Amino acid sequence: MTKVEKAKKIIKILNEKFGKPHCALNYNTDFELLVAVILSAQCTDVRVNMVTEKMFKVVNTPESVMDMPQKELENHIKSTGFFRNKAKNIKMCSKELVEKYGGKVPSQMENLIALPGVGRKTANVVRGEIWGLSDGVTVDTHVKRLSNLIGFVKEENVEKIERELMKIVPKERWIDFSHYLILQGRDVCIARRPKCCICEINHLCNYGRKTMRKIAEKKLNISL
């Protein structure tokens, strides 16, 4: 089976399991989503949602972030980790949004990644979620891990992984594909303890197939 065929089968199976995927971060506006994605670096979506639920009641526009003292913003986002850096980036990013884009989040990739604190991954999530646009496959820690375990890549560099996945996955499924691997990563393919026995795609996964073979051999030895 080619990698392209494998990707299509995995998408089909995970689509049946999860339905149409959507971003797990809560937001009401484009700006809120952008801030939530910046906060989600090295932090869980659940934690970010807890933080933004309170924070967005007080500050939820680029203008209001600009006016808020850095220390106050840091206090709001403290529990998401790397809070000083994140607060600094969110403030600088807000300033640029106000000064260059009239307070709106731009949709073009080059404009987004030029904003402080916004990398390619953040831009991909925002563009995909708000406008259904995709210039690539979002590669987070789950996508990176599963892509290697399944056998799509043998690579640690996220940019190289993204380029490979863009060749394997049909363009119209790039956004869904990332969501599905993230959901599957959280559900069964947990880092360092993947539950291959109950994984719906174990027959399509290199690591899963090896694990299942070992389990079968062990059972056979016991019964002999």
Q: Give the CA distances from residue 195 to residues 187, 214, 215, in Å, rounded to whole numbers and listed in that order.
A: 9, 14, 12
The answer to whether 106 contacts ligand SF4 (rule: CB under 6 A) is no
CA torsion through residues 121, 174, 62, 48, sign: negative
Residue from 195, 214, 218, 219 binding ligand SF4 (CB under 6 A): 195
The answer to whether 7 contacts ligand SF4 (rule: CB under 6 A) is no
Q: Give the CA distances from residue 91 to residues 61, 67, 74, in Å, rounded to whole numbers and listed in that order.
A: 11, 9, 10
The label of the residue with tokens 């959901």 reads 183
The answer to whether 199 contacts ligand SF4 (rule: CB under 6 A) is yes
Residue from 146, 147, 157, 223 binding ligand SF4 (CB under 6 A): 146
CA pair distance 70, 84, nearest whole angstrom: 8
Instruction: State the minimum distance, in angstroms, from the CB of residue 144 to ligand SF4.
Output: 12
Question: Is 77 in contact with 39 (CB distance < 8 Å)?
Answer: yes
Clarify whether 20 is annotated catalytic: no
3-state class of 204 per DSSP? helix
Among 19-27, 53-61, 135-143, 197-205, the segment contacting ligand SF4 (CB under 6 A): 197-205
Residue from 149, 153, 169, 182 binding ligand SF4 (CB under 6 A): 149
Letter for the amino acid at 171? Answer: K
3-state class of 58 per DSSP? helix
Among 78-86, 126-134, 145-153, 168-176, the segment contacting ligand SF4 (CB under 6 A): 145-153
Binding region for ligand SF4 (CB under 6 A): 146, 149-150, 188-189, 194-196, 199, 201-202, 205, 207-208
Catalytically active residues are 121, 140
